[in-house]
Amino acid sequence: MIGVGKVKQYGNVLDKPLNKGKTEVSLSAFAFLFSELVQYNQTQVDNIGELERRLEDAGYAVGARVLELLCHRDKGNRRETRLLGILSFVHSTVWKVLFGKVADSLEKGTEHEDEYMISEKELLVNKFISIPKDMGTFNCGAFVAGIVRGVLDGAGFPAVVTAHFVPMEGQQRPRTTILIKFAEEVLLREARLG
């Protein structure tokens, strides 16, 4: 019969399997797009705090969608309910899908119970970016912090997530740390679950 090819025809588009698609995108293409995102936001704001917030909001939208996609595709629709579970999900699965490698390290904060840190030698988004001296502590990694916040929020672990530069002795470029501070309710729930 004409029109019936080798590809199996699905009656409903929702029945089609969710394939992985192209797992690689040109780094240069992404770098230019991200650079334009930062420049565009710079024209819309008056100060650096605003700029960070805007980048974070952009990342938040990405995070929410990435969570849905990965839960369905990679985890078989299983939901994480424990703190360490969701943190290792972010640290390995999300990082692997977005940046091609797992994050360098995941640490628990020593000073406060509700703080966790994901560290990276050099965030992919910051690879070609040199922050001018007059911008102080601004970090374009705020975009990645937004992604993490989006994932955590969607999974039911509300948190405040920020990106910081941590200078290291013996290295010219500082490490980047994503600091995650969970809300009160998360810790109470975690304590209840035992």
Partner 1 sequence: MLSISRYSSVVEFEHLVQSVVKWDFRFWQKAFGMAAIYSLYIINKSGGLIYYKDYGSAGRMDTNDTLRVASLWHSMHAISQQLSPVSGCSGIELLQADTFDLHCFQSLTGTKFFAVCEPGTQQIESLLKYVYELYTDYVLKNPFYEIEMPIRCELFDMNLTQSVQKDRVALLGQ
Chain positions contacting partner 1, by CB under 8 A: 28, 31-32, 34-39, 42, 128-132, 135, 140, 172
Q: What's the min distance (Å) between Cβ of 133 and partner 1?
A: 9
For partner 1, the closer CB: 67 or 140? 140
Question: DSSP assignment of 71-123, as one string?
Answer: HHHTSTT----SHHHHHHIIIIIIHHHHHSS--SEEEE-SS-TTEEEEEESS-
| CB nearer partner 1, residue 48 or residue 117 | 48
Q: Which is nearer to partner 1, 110 or 172 (CB)?
A: 172
By beta-carbon proximity to partner 1, the closer residue of 37 and 102 is 37
Q: How far is the CB of 179 from partner 1 (least distance, A)?
A: 23
In the complex, the smallest distance separating the C-beta of residue 55 from partner 1, rounded to whole angstroms, is 11
- In whole angstroms, give the CA distance from residue 151 to residue 145: 10
The tally of CA atoms less than 13 A away on the side-chain side of residue 107 is 12
Compute how many other C-beta atoms are within 10 angstroms of the C-beta atom of residue 97: 15
Helix (H) or strand (E) holding 159: strand 159-166
- Tell the smallest beta-carbon distance from residue 129 to partner 1 (Å): 5
